[in-house]
Protein backbone atom coordinates (compact mmCIF):
# COMPACT_ATOMS: atom_id res chain seq x y z
CA UNK A 1 0.00 0.00 0.00
CA UNK A 2 2.91 2.37 -0.34
CA UNK A 3 3.78 3.47 -3.88
CA UNK A 4 2.04 0.73 -5.92
CA UNK A 5 -1.53 2.08 -5.67
CA UNK A 6 -0.63 5.26 -7.50
CA UNK A 7 0.82 3.18 -10.36
CA UNK A 8 -2.04 0.67 -10.66
CA UNK A 9 -4.76 3.22 -9.97
CA UNK A 10 -3.48 5.57 -12.63
CA UNK A 11 -5.84 4.37 -15.44
CA UNK A 12 -8.92 4.20 -13.19
CA UNK A 13 -11.45 7.04 -13.39
CA UNK A 14 -10.84 10.04 -11.20
CA UNK A 15 -13.84 9.63 -8.86
CA UNK A 16 -12.11 6.65 -7.24
CA UNK A 17 -9.03 8.60 -6.39
CA UNK A 18 -10.31 10.56 -3.41
CA UNK A 19 -11.73 7.35 -1.93
CA UNK A 20 -8.32 5.70 -2.00
CA UNK A 21 -6.86 8.86 -0.56
CA UNK A 22 -9.46 8.84 2.13
CA UNK A 23 -8.82 5.23 3.13
CA UNK A 24 -5.13 5.91 3.30
CA UNK A 25 -5.88 8.99 5.36
CA UNK A 26 -8.04 6.91 7.66
CA UNK A 27 -5.24 4.38 7.97
CA UNK A 28 -2.81 7.12 8.88
CA UNK A 29 -5.29 8.54 11.36
CA UNK A 30 -5.70 5.12 12.90
CA UNK A 31 -1.93 4.76 13.15
CA UNK A 32 -1.75 8.20 14.72
CA UNK A 33 -4.49 7.29 17.16
CA UNK A 34 -2.78 4.08 18.13
CA UNK A 35 0.41 6.05 18.55
CA UNK A 36 -1.49 8.47 20.71
CA UNK A 37 -2.37 5.65 23.02
CA UNK A 38 1.33 5.04 23.49
CA UNK A 39 2.18 8.72 23.77
CA UNK A 40 1.85 9.04 27.57
CA UNK A 41 3.90 5.87 28.01
CA UNK A 42 6.56 7.27 25.67
CA UNK A 43 6.58 10.52 27.63
CA UNK A 44 7.09 8.50 30.81
CA UNK A 45 9.92 6.52 29.18
CA UNK A 46 11.59 9.73 28.03
CA UNK A 47 11.19 11.16 31.53
CA UNK A 48 12.73 8.02 33.04
CA UNK A 49 15.74 8.11 30.71
CA UNK A 50 16.10 11.84 31.21
CA UNK A 51 16.11 11.49 34.98
CA UNK A 52 18.61 8.61 34.82
CA UNK A 53 20.95 10.62 32.61
CA UNK A 54 20.55 13.69 34.82
CA UNK A 55 21.34 11.61 37.91
CA UNK A 56 24.38 10.10 36.16
CA UNK A 57 25.70 13.52 35.15
CA UNK A 58 24.95 15.20 38.47
CA UNK A 59 25.93 12.48 40.94
CA UNK A 60 27.66 9.75 38.92
CA UNK A 61 27.61 6.03 39.63
CA UNK A 62 24.01 5.62 38.39
CA UNK A 63 24.59 3.47 35.31
CA UNK A 64 26.37 0.98 37.53
CA UNK A 65 25.28 -2.58 38.02
CA UNK A 66 25.12 -2.08 41.79
CA UNK A 67 22.88 1.00 41.69
CA UNK A 68 20.66 -0.53 39.03
CA UNK A 69 20.10 -3.73 40.95
CA UNK A 70 19.39 -1.74 44.12
CA UNK A 71 16.80 0.26 42.21
CA UNK A 72 15.12 -2.85 40.84
CA UNK A 73 15.19 -4.82 44.10
CA UNK A 74 13.80 -1.82 45.98
CA UNK A 75 11.01 -1.47 43.43
CA UNK A 76 9.88 -5.12 43.64
CA UNK A 77 6.95 -4.70 46.11
CA UNK A 78 5.67 -1.61 44.31
CA UNK A 79 5.96 -3.41 40.96
CA UNK A 80 3.63 -6.12 42.22
CA UNK A 81 1.18 -3.58 43.65
CA UNK A 82 1.23 -1.56 40.43
CA UNK A 83 0.42 -4.66 38.36
CA UNK A 84 -2.70 -5.34 40.45
CA UNK A 85 -3.65 -1.66 40.38
CA UNK A 86 -3.21 -1.52 36.57
CA UNK A 87 -5.74 -4.30 36.07
CA UNK A 88 -8.22 -2.62 38.41
CA UNK A 89 -7.81 0.81 36.81
CA UNK A 90 -8.11 -0.59 33.26
CA UNK A 91 -11.47 -2.01 34.36
CA UNK A 92 -12.42 1.59 35.33
CA UNK A 93 -12.19 0.78 39.04
CA UNK A 94 -9.75 1.73 41.78
CA UNK A 95 -8.25 -0.04 44.77
CA UNK A 96 -7.48 2.27 47.67
CA UNK A 97 -6.90 -0.60 50.09
CA UNK A 98 -3.53 -1.88 48.78
CA UNK A 99 -1.29 -0.20 51.37
CA UNK A 100 -3.46 -1.22 54.31
CA UNK A 101 -3.82 -4.78 53.01
CA UNK A 102 -0.02 -5.00 52.76
CA UNK A 103 0.18 -3.93 56.42
CA UNK A 104 -2.46 -6.40 57.61
CA UNK A 105 -1.15 -9.25 55.51
CA UNK A 106 2.45 -8.82 56.66
CA UNK A 107 1.55 -8.43 60.35
CA UNK A 108 -0.85 -11.38 60.25
CA UNK A 109 1.55 -13.56 58.28
CA UNK A 110 4.49 -12.89 60.57
CA UNK A 111 2.36 -13.56 63.65
CA UNK A 112 1.03 -16.79 62.17
CA UNK A 113 4.59 -17.94 61.47
CA UNK A 114 5.43 -16.99 65.04
CA UNK A 115 2.95 -19.60 66.29
CA UNK A 116 4.99 -22.33 64.61
CA UNK A 117 3.07 -22.71 61.35
CA UNK A 118 5.23 -23.83 58.45
CA UNK A 119 6.81 -20.76 56.86
CA UNK A 120 5.82 -21.59 53.29
CA UNK A 121 2.24 -22.18 54.37
CA UNK A 122 2.45 -18.82 56.13
CA UNK A 123 3.44 -17.12 52.87
CA UNK A 124 0.47 -18.74 51.13
CA UNK A 125 -1.82 -17.54 53.92
CA UNK A 126 -0.48 -13.98 53.44
CA UNK A 127 -1.40 -14.03 49.76
CA UNK A 128 -4.75 -15.66 50.54
CA UNK A 129 -5.58 -12.99 53.15
CA UNK A 130 -4.92 -10.30 50.55
CA UNK A 131 -7.13 -12.13 48.07
CA UNK A 132 -9.88 -12.36 50.70
CA UNK A 133 -9.95 -8.57 51.12
CA UNK A 134 -10.09 -8.30 47.34
CA UNK A 135 -12.98 -10.78 47.21
CA UNK A 136 -15.03 -8.76 49.71
CA UNK A 137 -14.34 -5.52 47.82
CA UNK A 138 -15.16 -7.20 44.51
CA UNK A 139 -18.48 -8.57 45.76
CA UNK A 140 -19.38 -5.13 47.14
CA UNK A 141 -18.55 -3.47 43.84
CA UNK A 142 -20.18 -6.03 41.57
CA UNK A 143 -23.10 -7.51 43.49
CA UNK A 144 -24.09 -4.50 45.56
CA UNK A 145 -23.17 -1.82 43.07
CA UNK A 146 -21.03 0.14 45.56
CA UNK A 147 -18.64 2.67 44.01
CA UNK A 148 -15.18 1.06 43.86
CA UNK A 149 -13.46 3.80 45.80
CA UNK A 150 -16.01 3.63 48.63
CA UNK A 151 -15.79 -0.17 48.81
CA UNK A 152 -12.00 -0.20 48.82
CA UNK A 153 -11.83 2.79 51.18
CA UNK A 154 -13.88 0.78 53.66
CA UNK A 155 -11.54 -2.18 53.12
CA UNK A 156 -8.58 0.14 53.68
CA UNK A 157 -9.88 1.16 57.10
CA UNK A 158 -10.89 -2.39 57.93
CA UNK A 159 -7.46 -3.77 57.04
CA UNK A 160 -5.56 -0.97 58.80
CA UNK A 161 -7.76 -1.34 61.89
CA UNK A 162 -7.37 -5.12 61.98
CA UNK A 163 -3.59 -4.77 61.61
CA UNK A 164 -3.55 -2.31 64.53
CA UNK A 165 -5.71 -4.69 66.57
CA UNK A 166 -3.18 -7.49 66.03
CA UNK A 167 -0.28 -5.38 67.19
CA UNK A 168 1.01 -1.84 67.32
CA UNK A 169 4.59 -3.00 67.84
CA UNK A 170 7.16 -4.41 65.45
CA UNK A 171 6.74 -8.16 65.11
CA UNK A 172 9.50 -10.38 63.78
CA UNK A 173 9.29 -13.62 61.87
CA UNK A 174 11.19 -16.66 63.26
CA UNK A 175 14.85 -16.93 62.25
CA UNK A 176 14.30 -19.90 59.92
CA UNK A 177 11.34 -18.37 58.04
CA UNK A 178 11.39 -18.33 54.23
CA UNK A 179 11.76 -14.54 54.37
CA UNK A 180 15.47 -15.03 54.81
CA UNK A 181 15.67 -17.07 51.62
CA UNK A 182 13.47 -14.58 49.73
CA UNK A 183 15.96 -11.83 50.48
CA UNK A 184 19.11 -13.77 49.51
CA UNK A 185 21.16 -12.02 46.88
CA UNK A 186 21.96 -13.93 43.73
CA UNK A 187 24.97 -12.47 41.96
CA UNK A 188 24.35 -12.42 38.22
CA UNK A 189 27.31 -10.26 37.32
CA UNK A 190 30.40 -9.97 39.49
CA UNK A 191 31.75 -6.48 38.98
CA UNK A 192 34.77 -4.86 40.62
CA UNK A 193 34.37 -3.90 44.31
CA UNK A 194 30.65 -3.58 45.22
CA UNK A 195 29.54 -3.11 41.64
CA UNK A 196 27.68 -6.43 41.37
CA UNK A 197 24.41 -6.98 39.63
CA UNK A 198 22.36 -8.92 42.17
CA UNK A 199 18.78 -10.05 42.15
CA UNK A 200 16.69 -11.39 45.00
CA UNK A 201 13.97 -14.04 44.73
CA UNK A 202 11.59 -11.19 45.58
CA UNK A 203 12.57 -9.37 42.39
CA UNK A 204 12.21 -12.61 40.42
CA UNK A 205 8.66 -12.97 41.81
CA UNK A 206 7.90 -9.38 40.77
CA UNK A 207 9.20 -10.01 37.24
CA UNK A 208 7.16 -13.21 37.02
CA UNK A 209 4.05 -11.31 38.14
CA UNK A 210 4.66 -8.67 35.47
CA UNK A 211 5.18 -11.30 32.74
CA UNK A 212 2.13 -13.21 33.91
CA UNK A 213 0.01 -10.06 33.92
CA UNK A 214 1.13 -9.08 30.40
CA UNK A 215 0.18 -12.58 29.19
CA UNK A 216 -3.13 -12.38 31.09
CA UNK A 217 -4.12 -8.97 29.75
CA UNK A 218 -3.20 -9.55 26.12
CA UNK A 219 -3.48 -13.29 25.53
CA UNK A 220 -6.46 -14.48 27.55
CA UNK A 221 -10.20 -13.98 27.18
CA UNK A 222 -10.55 -12.64 30.68
CA UNK A 223 -7.87 -10.07 29.96
CA UNK A 224 -9.81 -8.85 26.93
CA UNK A 225 -12.94 -8.74 29.09
CA UNK A 226 -11.11 -6.47 31.55
CA UNK A 227 -10.52 -3.96 28.75
CA UNK A 228 -14.13 -4.37 27.67
CA UNK A 229 -15.44 -3.63 31.16
CA UNK A 230 -13.25 -0.56 31.34
CA UNK A 231 -14.51 0.75 28.01
CA UNK A 232 -18.16 0.18 28.92
CA UNK A 233 -19.42 -2.40 31.37
CA UNK A 234 -22.94 -2.25 29.90
CA UNK A 235 -21.71 -2.96 26.37
CA UNK A 236 -19.52 -5.79 27.61
CA UNK A 237 -22.57 -7.24 29.36
CA UNK A 238 -24.68 -6.97 26.21
CA UNK A 239 -21.93 -8.65 24.21
CA UNK A 240 -22.25 -11.61 26.52
CA UNK A 241 -18.92 -11.17 28.26
CA UNK A 242 -18.85 -12.53 31.82
CA UNK A 243 -18.74 -9.09 33.46
CA UNK A 244 -19.73 -10.10 36.98
CA UNK A 245 -17.29 -12.97 37.31
CA UNK A 246 -14.43 -11.01 35.74
CA UNK A 247 -14.95 -7.95 37.90
CA UNK A 248 -14.85 -9.97 41.10
CA UNK A 249 -11.69 -11.72 39.87
CA UNK A 250 -10.11 -8.34 39.12
CA UNK A 251 -10.41 -7.30 42.76
CA UNK A 252 -9.30 -10.72 43.99
CA UNK A 253 -6.20 -10.40 41.80
CA UNK A 254 -5.48 -6.92 43.13
CA UNK A 255 -5.87 -8.19 46.69
CA UNK A 256 -3.63 -11.19 46.00
CA UNK A 257 -1.03 -8.82 44.50
CA UNK A 258 -1.16 -6.83 47.75
CA UNK A 259 -0.61 -10.03 49.71
CA UNK A 260 2.31 -11.00 47.48
CA UNK A 261 3.77 -7.50 47.77
CA UNK A 262 3.53 -7.92 51.54
CA UNK A 263 5.55 -11.14 51.26
CA UNK A 264 8.26 -9.52 49.15
CA UNK A 265 8.35 -6.35 51.25
CA UNK A 266 8.49 -8.20 54.56
CA UNK A 267 11.36 -10.30 53.19
CA UNK A 268 13.23 -7.14 52.17
CA UNK A 269 13.02 -5.78 55.75
CA UNK A 270 14.33 -9.04 57.31
CA UNK A 271 10.96 -10.45 58.26
CA UNK A 272 9.76 -7.63 60.50
CA UNK A 273 6.25 -6.26 60.17
CA UNK A 274 4.43 -3.21 61.51
CA UNK A 275 0.86 -2.01 61.41
CA UNK A 276 1.92 1.33 59.87
CA UNK A 277 3.59 -0.28 56.84
CA UNK A 278 2.37 0.91 53.48
CA UNK A 279 0.92 4.30 54.48
CA UNK A 280 0.35 6.16 51.24
CA UNK A 281 1.35 3.26 49.01
CA UNK A 282 -2.00 3.42 47.28
CA UNK A 283 -1.07 6.86 45.98
CA UNK A 284 2.32 5.60 44.79
CA UNK A 285 0.71 2.66 43.00
CA UNK A 286 -1.96 4.83 41.36
CA UNK A 287 0.71 7.37 40.38
CA UNK A 288 2.88 4.66 38.82
CA UNK A 289 -0.06 3.31 36.83
CA UNK A 290 -1.13 6.73 35.60
CA UNK A 291 2.42 7.83 34.76
CA UNK A 292 2.71 4.61 32.75
CA UNK A 293 -0.09 5.74 30.47
CA UNK A 294 -3.13 3.88 31.81
CA UNK A 295 -6.29 5.97 31.60
CA UNK A 296 -7.91 6.59 34.98
CA UNK A 297 -11.26 6.36 33.24
CA UNK A 298 -10.44 2.80 32.25
CA UNK A 299 -10.40 0.90 28.99
CA UNK A 300 -6.81 1.63 27.96
CA UNK A 301 -3.40 0.97 29.40
CA UNK A 302 -0.49 -1.40 29.62
CA UNK A 303 1.07 -3.36 32.45
CA UNK A 304 4.53 -2.62 31.05
CA UNK A 305 3.71 1.09 31.16
CA UNK A 306 3.12 0.79 34.88
CA UNK A 307 6.55 -0.84 35.23
CA UNK A 308 8.01 2.32 33.69
CA UNK A 309 5.84 4.36 36.07
CA UNK A 310 7.21 2.50 39.10
CA UNK A 311 10.78 3.05 37.89
CA UNK A 312 10.09 6.79 37.36
CA UNK A 313 8.99 7.10 40.99
CA UNK A 314 11.94 4.98 42.13
CA UNK A 315 14.51 7.10 40.24
CA UNK A 316 12.81 10.25 41.53
CA UNK A 317 13.35 8.96 45.06
CA UNK A 318 16.99 8.15 44.21
CA UNK A 319 17.57 11.68 42.93
CA UNK A 320 15.97 13.19 46.03
CA UNK A 321 18.15 11.09 48.36
CA UNK A 322 21.31 11.74 46.34
CA UNK A 323 20.58 15.44 46.12
CA UNK A 324 20.24 15.75 49.87
CA UNK A 325 19.05 19.36 49.80
CA UNK A 326 15.42 18.42 49.18
CA UNK A 327 13.56 17.71 52.40
CA UNK A 328 12.15 14.15 52.29
CA UNK A 329 8.92 15.72 53.60
CA UNK A 330 8.42 17.00 50.07
CA UNK A 331 8.38 13.49 48.59
CA UNK A 332 4.61 12.97 48.86
CA UNK A 333 3.99 16.47 47.55
CA UNK A 334 6.25 15.79 44.54
CA UNK A 335 4.63 12.39 43.90
CA UNK A 336 1.22 14.03 44.05
CA UNK A 337 2.31 16.82 41.72
CA UNK A 338 3.77 14.36 39.18
CA UNK A 339 0.56 12.31 39.31
CA UNK A 340 -1.47 15.46 38.77
CA UNK A 341 0.64 16.53 35.78
CA UNK A 342 0.18 13.16 34.11
CA UNK A 343 -3.56 13.12 34.78
CA UNK A 344 -3.74 16.56 33.19
CA UNK A 345 -1.75 15.34 30.16
CA UNK A 346 -4.26 12.50 29.83
CA UNK A 347 -7.13 14.97 29.96
CA UNK A 348 -5.58 17.12 27.25
CA UNK A 349 -4.90 14.11 25.01
CA UNK A 350 -8.41 12.74 25.58
CA UNK A 351 -9.96 16.11 24.75
CA UNK A 352 -7.87 16.37 21.56
CA UNK A 353 -8.93 12.85 20.61
CA UNK A 354 -12.58 13.80 20.97
CA UNK A 355 -12.22 16.95 18.86
CA UNK A 356 -10.64 14.95 16.05
Partner 1 sequence: MNRFKAALRTPWFGALLAIVVLLAVNTIKDPGYLAIGTNQTTGMMSGNLLDILRISAPIIMISLGMTFVIATEGIDLSVGSMMAIGGAVAMQTLSSINQPSSVTAMLTAIGLALLLAFVLGTVNGILVAVVGLQPFITTLVMMMAARGIARVITGGQNTNARNGPFNQLATGQILGIPTGFVLAIGIVVLVALLMRRTALGLMIESIGINPHASRLAGIRPRPILIAVYALAAVLAAIGGLFTVAEVMTVNPSSTGNLMELDAILAVVIGGTSLAGGKFSILGSTAGALLIATLNKTVVFLGVPSAATPAFKGVVIIILVLLQSDRVRSLLKRRTKSPTTPSTPTAELESQEALA
Q: Which residues bind partner 1 (CB under 8 A)?
A: 94, 96, 136, 139-140, 142-147, 149-151, 153-162, 164-165, 168, 234, 237-238, 242-245, 248, 275, 280, 282-283, 286, 296-297, 327, 329-333, 335-337, 339-340, 343-344, 347
For partner 1, the closer of residues 86 and 198 by Cβ is 86
For partner 1, the closer of residues 188 and 337 by Cβ is 337
Nearest distance from C-beta of residue 100 to partner 1, angstroms: 9
For partner 1, the closer of residues 56 and 164 by Cβ is 164
Which 3-state string (H, E, C) describes 176-234? CCHHHHHCCCEEEECCCCCCCEEECHHHHHHHHHHHHHHHHHHHCHHHHHHHHHHHCHH
For partner 1, the closer of residues 143 and 220 by Cβ is 143
Nearest distance from C-beta of residue 145 to partner 1, angstroms: 5
For partner 1, the closer of residues 155 and 209 by Cβ is 155
Among candidates 308, 268, 293, which has minimal Cα distance to 350?
293
For partner 1, the closer of residues 3 and 234 by Cβ is 234
> What's the CA gap between 272 and 173, in Å, rounded?
6
Burial of 4 (0-12, 13-18, 19+ CB in 10 A): exposed
Nearest distance from C-beta of residue 89 to partner 1, angstroms: 10
Those residues with Cβ within 8 angstroms of residue 64's Cβ, 6 or more apart along the chain or in another chain: 191, 195
> What's the CA gap between 89 and 294, in Å, rounded?
7
Nearest distance from C-beta of residue 323 to partner 1, angstroms: 16
The three-point CA angle 103-104-105 to 5° equals 95
Nearest distance from C-beta of residue 282 to partner 1, angstroms: 8
- CA-CA distances (angstroms) from residue 152 to 29, 89, 159, 330? 39, 13, 10, 27
Nearest distance from C-beta of residue 161 to partner 1, angstroms: 3
Amino acid sequence: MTASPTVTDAPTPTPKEPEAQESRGAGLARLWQRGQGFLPTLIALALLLGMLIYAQVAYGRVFHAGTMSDLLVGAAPMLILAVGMTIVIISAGIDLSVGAVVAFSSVAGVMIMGTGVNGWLGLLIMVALGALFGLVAGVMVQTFNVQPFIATLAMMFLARGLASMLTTDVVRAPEDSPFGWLATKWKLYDGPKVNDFTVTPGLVIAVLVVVGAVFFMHRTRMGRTVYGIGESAASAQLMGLPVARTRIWIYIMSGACSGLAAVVYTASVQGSARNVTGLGWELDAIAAVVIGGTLLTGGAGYVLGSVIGVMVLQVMRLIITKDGTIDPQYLTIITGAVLLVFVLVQRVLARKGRER
